[in-house]
Amino acid sequence: MSPRQRILSGIQPSGTIHIGNYFGAVENWVRLTKDYDCFFMIVDLHALTVDYDPRRLPQRVWDAALDNMAAGLDPAKCTIFIQSHVPEHTELCWLLTCVTPLGELYRMTQFKEKSSREGENVKAGLLCYPILMAADILVYRADAVPVGEDQVQHLEFSRELARRFNGRFGDYFPEPAALIGRGARVMGLDGAAKMSKSMDNIIGIGEEPEAVWEKLRPAKTDEARKRRSDPGEPGRCNIYSYHKLVTPEAELAGIAAGCRGATIGCIDCKKIFHRNLMKVLDPIRERRRELALRPDDVRDALNDGARKARAVARETLDGAKKLMGLL
Ligand code: TYM
C-alpha cells in the first residue's frame, strides 16, 4: 500500500476562530483527516510578527486549540500541535531565508496591507512571515495545504521556494498544492472586506446564538432593497453568500426566489440563515464546553502532537542541512 499523502495547515491564535476560518479552512481540514496524513498547528510564532500583548498570548493559543478541536479536529485522527513546540520550523526557516530573494518578500500583498497598518513599528518578522510559512509546510514535505483564498499567494511563494531549493541543492521538497475550502473568501458582516478578526467584522464559531443574532440583524444586505416590498438581487446580498455555506440547495432556491419576488424580507432571510448556521455551530459550542472541562486531555494531545511532528520535522531538516553542505 502506498503511504498516504501528507497535509499541513495552520491558523493564527487570534482570539476566536470565525466562520471565515471555519468554512474557508477548518471544515476542510476535518474532512481531509479521513484520507490523508494530516498535521495542523496553531501558529503562535506568526502571531509575534505584529504588535501583541504577551500576557494575553497564552490564552489566545489555548482558545485556538479548543476551538479547533471543538470544530472537529480529533487528535486521534491527525497530528495537532503548537508551532513553537517544534523548533525545527524556525531552523528550516533560517536555511530558507538564505535562498529567498528579498524582492519577492516586498511583493507579498499581506505584507503590504499589514505593514501599512503597523506604520513605523513594522518588524522584519512581518517581512519574513512567508519564509516561516514555507518552512512550516516544507519541513513536513507536505503534498497539499488546505487554506482560504487569502493564503494562495503565500502558498505560491512556498512552491517557488521549494523549486529554488531543489534547483540549487538537489530535488528534495515536493511542491505543495493549495486545496481551497468551500468558503474560499467569506466576507465580513460589513460586506465590504474579508471576514477578519483585525477588521472586527466576524461571527465567532463559539458565540452564543443571541450574540450572533445581534450581529446579523443590522448586517448589510442588498443595498438597493430599501423597503420589504422592493425586489432584491441575491447576487448582491452578503447574507445570501452566507446562506450558500449552510443552507440546503432546495431551501436556497426558495430563498433566492423569495428575495427576487419580495415575498421574503431581509429579516426573515437572516432568521433562516441564523437557524441553519446554528445547526452547525451548536454542536461545536457544546463540544468546546466539554473540552474546557478536560484541560489535561487537551494539553496531553498537544504535547503528543508536538512529539509526533518533531520526529518528522527533524528528519526533513537533517536531510536539508546535509544538502546545503552543513556538517
Ligand atoms: P489565518 O489564521 O489568517 O487563517 C486560517 C485559515 O482561515 C482562512 N481564512 C479564510 N477563509 C475564507 N474566508 C475568510 N474570510 C478567511 N479568513 C481566514 C485562511 O485562508 C487560512 O487558511 N498564514 C496563515 C497561517 C499559516 C499557515 C502556515 C497556513 C502559517 N503557516 C502553513 C498554511 C500552511 C494565516 O495567517 O491564516
CATH number of the domain within which 251 lies: 1.10.240.10
Is 238 domain-assigned?
yes
In angstroms, the CA 215 to CA 60 distance is 22
Residue 2 pLDDT: 57
| Full domain range(s) for residue 300 | 6-186+295-323
Is 224 domain-assigned?
yes
90 shares a domain with 68: yes
Asked whether the beta carbons of 177 and 158 are under 8 A apart, the reply is: no
Residues with Cβ within 8 Å of residue 13, at least 6 apart in sequence: 42, 43, 44, 47, 57, 60, 61, 63, 64
Residue 198 pLDDT: 87
Does the active-site annotation cover 114?
Answer: yes
Q: Are strands 144-147 and 79-82 parallel, antiparallel or unpaired?
A: unpaired
159 shares a domain with 11: yes
In angstroms, the CA 267 to CA 312 distance is 51
> In a 3-state reduction of DSSP, which class is residue 187?
strand
Determine which one of 34, 77, 123, 194 is catalytic. 194
DSSP structural state of residue 86: -
221 shares a domain with 158: no
Q: What is the mean pLDDT of each run of 10 residues along the chain (327 residues)?
A: 86 94 97 97 97 96 97 98 98 98 95 88 95 98 97 97 98 97 94 92 96 96 90 94 96 96 95 98 97 98 98 98 97
Any ligand 1 atom below 6 A from CB of 144: no
> pTM of the predicted model, to two decimals?
0.96
Ligand 1, atom nearest to 146 Cα: 22
275 shares a domain with 167: no
CATH number of the domain within which 23 lies: 3.40.50.620
Residue 1 pLDDT: 52
Four-residue CA torsion sign, 56, 283, 80, 295: positive
Is 316 domain-assigned?
yes
105 shares a domain with 150: yes
Any ligand 1 atom below 6 A from CB of 151: yes
153 shares a domain with 239: no
Q: Structural domain tally of the chain?
A: 2
Does the active-site annotation cover 194?
Answer: yes
Residue matched to cell numbers 430563498: 255
H/E run at residue 82: strand 79-82
134 shares a domain with 157: yes
Is 22 domain-assigned?
yes
Provide the grid cell at 297. Answer: 486531555
DSSP structural state of residue 146: E
Is 226 domain-assigned?
yes
Half-sphere exposure of 199 (CA within 13 A, CB side): 17
302 shares a domain with 275: no
Any ligand 1 atom below 6 A from CB of 203: no
Is 303 domain-assigned?
yes
Ligand 1, atom nearest to 150 Cα: 20
Residue 258 pLDDT: 95
162 shares a domain with 300: yes
Q: Are strands 144-147 and 37-42 parallel, antiparallel or unpaired?
A: unpaired
150 shares a domain with 87: yes
Is 279 domain-assigned?
yes
Q: Whose CA is nearest to atom 18 of ligand 1?
A: 21
Q: Residue 282's CB: how many other CB atoms inside 10 A?
A: 11
Does the active-site annotation cover 215?
Answer: no
Cβ neighbourhood burial of 26 (10 Å; 0-12, 13-18, 19+): buried
Is 200 domain-assigned?
no
CB burial of 173-209 (b: ≥16 within 10 Å; e: otherwise) equals bbbbebbbbebeebbbbebeeebbbeeebbbbbbbee
Determine if residue 200 is left, alpha or beta; phi over 0 gives left, psi from -120 to 50 gives alpha, anything else beta: left
Residue closest to 253 by CA, chosen among 267, 272, 271? 272
44 shares a domain with 137: yes
218 shares a domain with 72: no
